[in-house]
Structure 1
Amino acid sequence: MNFKNFPMVPRVVFGRGSFDQLEEIITSKRTSTSSPFIFLVDDVFKGSPLEKRIPLYHNDKVIFINSDVEPKTSQVDALRDSIKEEFDALPSGVIGIGGGTLMDLAKAVAIMLNNPGSSEDYQGWDLLKNPALYHVGIPTISGTGAEVSRTTVLTGPEKKLGINSDHTPFDQVVLDPDLCTGVPLNQWFYTGMDCYIHCIESLTGTYLNAFSQSYGEKSLDLCNEVFFNGSLSEDESRDKLMMASWHGGMSIAYSQVGVAHAMSYGLSYLLGTRHGVGNCIVFDHLEEFYPEGVKQFKKMVDKYEVEIPKGLCANLTDDDFDTMISVSMGMVPLWENALGKDWKQVITPQKLRGMYEKM
């Protein structure tokens, strides 16, 4: 048997206020005074106190990114090209500050600054020719697990699929729960539910093993504390959800996600649906596959009075449905984890269409 030789993030700092250690952390990684650090930062922080805390020296550059749209291969290539055009020397590293979109962009840009061609050439598993540049992830919302994963999910011209490789994980992660202060309720819920859904899919999947189970069970316990235990303070809630995200990411890294993610990719590719809310839209209809998980999910939706969008697929054409179905059925490892090697006996294009029509 060939076991997974999984790369973990080698260095991580956790704690409120730990963002202020960033200067100390990255200084030794500067390759020269002419090799900048590139900070990719969610544009919600433009003009905020956080912007003023970013440790800039020499010719370091901050690039603000609008995260309303999930990362595209064309966006990654354009960022890579503009950085190479502006600077004579290769950057010392790339630092992502934001949610899952910024985490994935930072990983992808660090990869493409040291690899030829287009990022769409590397959508798949273990296709990279060279290591990524030094890269740091600093999440400002918890749930996606992107800070710990070996993938960077990108929408390309033909598919939505990650660059999955041993070179993708961050070299350093800074987990500062204070950075998650002030996240809007809906966004907090959708992203937190991404973590919860990771756990359900991992813990009920055919790829489950003791390694992924230990992380998944801890993450699920933390999710339940955050979303059901009314006795947590806001600080405790932020701390625990940040740890849930980390453990949930570790769980799926050594197993896989399942039906909700496979179908969410189809929604996202066709309609641009954001990842967290897309998973919620799909998971709301998956009692057939995850009866207990969906029952608990619906209780959480009611508790926080969060609206799960409906009617997304009401006016789609046959071609639209075919596109979503094709993208979704292309996520073979996810379906295998959910339903086993014979998953195609359960999931047919007709079955998927009927499921999408409810959403």
Structure 2
Amino acid sequence: MSYKNYPMVSRVVFGRSSFNQLGDIIAPKRLNRKAPFIFLVDDVFKGNSEMTSRIPLAYDDQLLYISAEHEPKTSQVDELVEQIILNYKDRPSGIIGIGGGTILDLAKAVAIMLTNEGEAKNYQGWDLVKNPAIYHVGIPTLSGTGAEVSRTTILTGPERKLGINSDYTPFDQVILDPELTKDVPKEQWFYTGMDCYVHCIESLNGTFLNAFSQSYGEKALELCKEIFLGDSLSQEESADKLMMASWHGGMSIAYSQVGVAHAMSYGLGYLLGVKHGVGNCIVFEHLEEYYPEGVAMYKAMRKKHNINIPQGICANLSDDEFDTMIDVALSLEPLWENAVGKDWKKVITRDKLKALYKKM
């Protein structure tokens, strides 16, 4: 049997105020004065001088504010790549993503597409990338998505919502500074935290489970329980632990896979533009059949933090629209195989998925 030889993030810094070390960390990676670092920064930080004044711009470096209002699209990646190529004669020294999962995924995708020909949509899938990406750094300002550690970048393309899953996707460097998450609104904190929680539940209950993914998944789940169901943590401790839960949750799926909630959430994201973390919560409400204990615990967390999940988002959809979501969900075959097993096609029918979507 041959085992997958997975890449990991090769360098990581963890600690409060570690963001201040960014300049020292990237300086040796500068190719020359004309090869800029491109900083892709979540536009929630526009006008936040406490944050932006610490970004170490030099020479021809460029700071691009990116809206995370919508999930990242393949067309958006292509536009950013074109903009960078047209603006600079030299290939950039690196791409630095500062933000939540949307910005981190864009940074990974742009770094890949600067060295690979064609359009981003052609690389949606598993192991389609031919050339190594340029140097890229991830600095999460939200915790939970696992985008900082994963080998995928989730993009909505013209035909599907699917990641660029490749050995060249992971960041070369990650900076984990929990201070950067301090102003996250409560609902967003919950939704991205639940993304991490769902990673653990789907990984730990999947048919692909092994000791590697289990060790990370169990740790992340333990941290999630402490953060979302406990009462003893200070705000700082909670932020530190959620950042580590996100890392471990991301690692738990590196050597296994996610499952039903993610597959169906992709359908919601593709058709309705529902944000990934919110989509996971909307779907997870109805998955007792697959994850009974996980759903019960999730509902306890939701209740404790008094979060209202959007209801009735599929109430007025046409049959064609349901079919579109079902097509997107069913195209994610490894997720279904992990969730249900090799014979998943006998169990997961279009009617079954439609009935589930109708509840949302």
**Residue 47, structure 1, aligned to residue 79, structure 2:** no
Find the counterpart in structure 2 of residue 196 from structure 1. 197
Alignment of 1:136-155 (within 5 A): 136-155=137-156
Shift of residue 344, structure 1, vs aligned partner: 1.1
Q: Which residue of 2 aligns with 1:334?
A: 335
AA aligned opposite 1:187: Q
For 2:127 and 2:352, locate their aligned partners in 1 and report how far apart those are by CA, in whole Å.
31
Q: Tell me, in whole angstroms, the C-alpha distance in 1 between the residues paired with 2:210 and 2:129.
A: 28
Tell me the residue number matched to 2:159.
158
Which segments of structure 1 move beyond 3 Å, counting only runs of 4 or more?
none
Match of 2:16 in 1: 16
Number of matched pairs: 359
Shift of 1:182: 1.3
Within 5 A, what are the aligned runs for 1:8-157?
Answer: 8-48=8-48, 49-157=50-158
CA displacement at 1:346 relative to structure 2: 1.0
Instruction: Give secondary structure in 2 for the equivalent of 1:308.
Output: coil
CA distance in 2, matches of 1:38, 1:153: 20
Identity in percent: 69
In structure 2, distance between residues paired with 1:129 and 1:291: 41
Displacement, 1:47?
1.2
Any idea what SS the aligned residue of 1:28 has? helix
Letter in 1 for 2:301: M
Secondary structure (helix, strand or coil) at the match of 2:53 reads: helix
AA of the residue aligned to 1:34: K
Structure 2 Cα separation of the partners of residues 128 and 222 of structure 1: 34
**Whole-Å Cα distance in 2 between the matches of residues 346 and 310 of structure 1?**
26
Aligned-residue offset at 1:249? 0.2
SS of the residue 2:118 aligns to: coil
Distance 1:346 1:357 in 2: 18
Matches within 5 A, 1:225-240: 225-240=226-241
Which position in structure 2 is the counterpart of 1:224? Answer: 225
SS at the partner of 1:206? coil
User: Shift of residue 356 of structure 1?
Assistant: 0.3
1:2 deviates by 1.5
User: SS of the counterpart of 2:132?
Assistant: coil
Q: Could you tell me how far 1:207 is from its partner in structure 2?
A: 0.2
Shift of 1:28: 0.1
Relative to the length of structure 1, the TM-score reads 1.00
Task: Please list the CA deviations of residues 149-170 of structure 1 after superposition, one character each: whole Å capped at 9, or x if unmatched.
Answer: 0000100000111000000000
Q: How many Å separate the matches in 2 of 1:137 and 1:318?
A: 40
The residue type equivalent to 1:124 in the other structure is: G
Residue 310 of structure 2 is aligned to residue 309 of structure 1: yes
Q: TM-score when scaled to structure 2?
A: 0.99
Q: Which residue of structure 2 lines up, in the alignment, with residue 6 of structure 1?
A: 6
Partner of 2:262: 261
Question: How far 1:358 moved relative to its partner?
Answer: 0.2
CA RMSD of aligned residues (A): 0.5
Separation of aligned partners in 1, 2:350 and 2:244 = 37
> 1:230-282, CA deviations, whole angstroms, 9 ceiling, x for partnerless residues?
11001100000000000000000110000000000000000000000000000
Structure 2 unaligned blocks of 5 or more:
none
Equivalent position amino acid for 1:28 in 2: P
Deviations 1:161-184 (A, max 9, x none): 100000000000000000000110
Distance in 2 between the 1:58 and 1:303 partners? 49
> How do residues 270-285 of structure 1 correspond to structure 2 at under 5 angstroms?
270-285=271-286
Quote the offset at 1:53 in angstroms.
0.6
**How far apart, CA to CA, are the structure 2 residues paired with 1:352 and 1:112?**
34
Runs of 5+ consecutive residues of structure 1 not aligned to the other structure: none
